[in-house]
Amino acid sequence: MSERGITTEHRALMLEEPLIFEQGAEGRTGVDLPRPQTDDDRLGGVARRGPIGLPGLSEPQVVRHFTRLSQKNYAIDMGLYPLGSCTMKHNPRLNERLARLPGLADIHPLQPESTVQGGLELIDRLAHWLKTLTGMPAVAMSPAAGAHGELCGLMTIRAALEDRGDTRARVLVPESAHGTNPATATLCGYSVSAVPANRNGRIDLAALETALSADVAALMLTNPNTCGLFEDDILAVADAVHTAGAFVYVDGANFNALVGRVRPGDLGADAMHINLHKTFSTPHGGGGPGSGPVVLSEELAPYAPLPWVVHDDAGFRLVEHGDGKELGRMKAFHGQMGMFVRALAYMMSHGADGLRQVADDAVLNANYLLARLSDVLTPAYPGSCMHECLFDDEFLKGTGVTTLDFAKALIDAGYHPMTMYFPLVVQGALLMEPTESESKDSLDRFIETTRALAQRARDGDAAWFHACPQFAPRRRLDETSAARKPVLRWRPPDKDAAA
């Protein structure tokens, strides 16, 4: 059996777990359902024939399976998760409890409005917080995630331009932008022109002015940008864009650095999405769901997508059909209600003062990392940062260790790595975002670990780095063969081959 002299593949608490399809037995089920009272069929001749192939498992089998799987994940609940640009902050459990109240979780989106007044009021209240925090007069609540919000915002801009008979062909995107920005612009029918950064990692104002012309619809800008730096020319940038008759779209992924302190509306933003799953702590859930409301200027507000909530003497109403000026609809129903509840609970818990402290602490923590690591890693840009700090791979030069190796070594040291190789403008980038959730003790431990690893790289221990991680549930995985010969689902073993 095993070379380690034990008869299983398990290693203490690290339990190997086959797929559900490799377990179970025919006819077994983990749910005790009543029997149907009739076998009649009104399926109009399309009753399913033949089996589906799903495995039959009992409840204990299923509970064990997914508990074992969960133990193969790193999570913010386990430790510091410095994944830059992703804002991995603590997810308060009060918010989870509230989102599960039957009065919020168990209401149907098409119930009569009179029976969901509390739900509509909650959306309205969250909208008020978002507008006030950003200094913007309107908000579209329905987009399902950040990228979906970008699409909504940019479509709003295009609708407004077309309404004034202004057809424009291009969208400007800084080189350091998230990949969603150019992808979104293309979906809106725009071509994309890149705007270079200056030596300080900010948008090059002169280059921007050159790139601006009467065929530019919008500039898509992240602020603080993906290098963790505040765009300090932002007012001049916005002025230049507006003078050219274009709009400023702000990617709000990094709003955590500004919340309660700086209102994007005061910086010249015309539209901005807000990732509730970043700034307002709704859990990431291994990749989603998110929620991406978009705040809009007065000029763009009439083009906001359906639906929206209005309030009058009779109570709250949902406007589900517009006057034709609006964009249409971004998704079915009214938005990510489950995320709204969690975000509102987070906002109310923190209040205006607490949210301001969120930004303060997030920026303080990132600068502390930057200061304590600057002598061993190489900062990509001079000066302080906002909520995340960026290093390049200069400190690894000549060591035979890459950014990837360094990240994998952090795994063995018990941490989730930072964001690697993004933004693209920085060679071998390492982007760290500690968020406000970390204490000084926690940061100090991470700093000591990172410093020790940097020292080890300098000491010429490249082979050790190349072998990392050694203690994770899996060693490095072969992504090349995964992509060359994709196996994207389980299939029953070929009976002929087995015989």
Considering the rule CB under 8 A, would residue 371 count as an interface residue with other proteins? yes
Cβ at position 65, least distance to other proteins in Å: 7
113 contacts 121 by C-beta, under 8 angstroms: no
**Pairing of β 170-174 and β 138-140:** unpaired
Residues 201-220: x/- map of binding to other proteins (CB under 8 A)?
--------------------
Nearer to other proteins, 424 or 459 (CB): 424
Candidates 62, 205, 207, 413; binder of other proteins (CB under 8 A) is 62
Chain positions 75 to 134 lying near other proteins, rule: CB under 8 A, are: 75-78, 81, 83, 86, 88, 91, 94, 96-98, 100-112, 114-119, 121-122, 125, 129, 132-133
Decide: helix, strand or coil at residue 117. Answer: helix
* Alpha-carbon gap, residue 260 to 424, rounded angstroms: 30
Cβ at position 38, least distance to other proteins in Å: 5
Nearer to other proteins, 36 or 493 (CB): 36
* Alpha-carbon gap, residue 156 to 272, rounded angstroms: 11
Cβ at position 241, least distance to other proteins in Å: 16
Cβ at position 412, least distance to other proteins in Å: 9
Chain positions 137 to 156 lying near other proteins, rule: CB under 8 A, are: 144-148, 150-151, 155
Cβ at position 32, least distance to other proteins in Å: 9
Going by C-alpha positions, the residue among 177, 187, 179, 195 that lies closest to residue 246 is 195
Chain positions 288 to 307 lying near other proteins, rule: CB under 8 A, are: 288-291, 305-306
Considering the rule CB under 8 A, would residue 338 count as an interface residue with other proteins? yes
Decide: helix, strand or coil at residue 148. Answer: helix
Considering the rule CB under 8 A, would residue 310 count as an interface residue with other proteins? no
Candidates 176, 180, 279, 435; binder of other proteins (CB under 8 A) is 180
Cβ at position 79, least distance to other proteins in Å: 11
Considering the rule CB under 8 A, would residue 234 count as an interface residue with other proteins? yes
Residue 408: in which H helix or E strand, if any?
Answer: helix 403-412
User: Would you tell me how many other CB atoms lie within 10 Å of the CB of residue 426?
Assistant: 22
* Alpha-carbon gap, residue 258 to 497, rounded angstroms: 60
Considering the rule CB under 8 A, would residue 463 count as an interface residue with other proteins? no
> Could you tell me which stretch among 186-194, 203-211, 394-402, 449-457 binds other proteins (CB under 8 A)?
186-194
With tokens 């009439």, the residue in question is 302
Structure tokens belonging to residue 424: 């693209």
Cβ at position 121, least distance to other proteins in Å: 6
Considering the rule CB under 8 A, would residue 258 count as an interface residue with other proteins? yes
The residue count for the chain: 499
Residues 345-364: x/- map of binding to other proteins (CB under 8 A)?
x-xxxxxxxx-x---x--xx
154 contacts 184 by C-beta, under 8 angstroms: yes
Candidates 297, 336, 402, 435; binder of other proteins (CB under 8 A) is 336
> Could you tell me which stretch among 296-304, 332-340, 428-436, 452-460 binds other proteins (CB under 8 A)?
332-340
* Alpha-carbon gap, residue 18 to 407, rounded angstroms: 28
Decide: helix, strand or coil at residue 442. Answer: helix
Largest Cα–Cα distance in the chain? 77
* Alpha-carbon gap, residue 205 to 197, rounded angstroms: 9
* Alpha-carbon gap, residue 385 to 470, rounded angstroms: 33
Candidates 422, 428, 433, 454; binder of other proteins (CB under 8 A) is 422
Candidates 156, 184, 378, 450; binder of other proteins (CB under 8 A) is 184
Nearer to other proteins, 76 or 462 (CB): 76
List all residues 6 or more positions away from 254 whose beta carbon is below 8 Å from its beta carbon: 85, 87, 222, 223, 224, 225, 226, 228, 386, 387, 388
Chain positions 475 to 494 lying near other proteins, rule: CB under 8 A, are: 475-484, 486-490
Cβ at position 265, least distance to other proteins in Å: 9
Candidates 73, 198, 210, 243; binder of other proteins (CB under 8 A) is 73
Candidates 82, 84, 220, 230; binder of other proteins (CB under 8 A) is 230
176 contacts 227 by C-beta, under 8 angstroms: yes
Number of residues counted as binding other proteins (CB under 8 A): 197
Q: How far are the Cα atoms of 91, 137, 150, 151, 154 from residue 186, in angstroms, in the given order?
A: 34, 27, 12, 10, 10
Decide: helix, strand or coil at residue 98. Answer: helix
279 contacts 304 by C-beta, under 8 angstroms: no
* Alpha-carbon gap, residue 465 to 105, rounded angstroms: 47
Cβ at position 386, least distance to other proteins in Å: 8
* Alpha-carbon gap, residue 99 to 283, rounded angstroms: 12
Which backbone phi and psi does 108 adopt, to 5 degrees? -85, 140
Cβ at position 292, least distance to other proteins in Å: 8
Going by C-alpha positions, the residue among 390, 410, 400 that lies closest to residue 453 is 410
Nearer to other proteins, 310 or 459 (CB): 310
Considering the rule CB under 8 A, would residue 67 count as an interface residue with other proteins? yes
Nearer to other proteins, 111 or 459 (CB): 111
Residues 18-47: x/- map of binding to other proteins (CB under 8 A)?
-xxx--x-xxxxxx-xxxxxxxxxxxxxxx
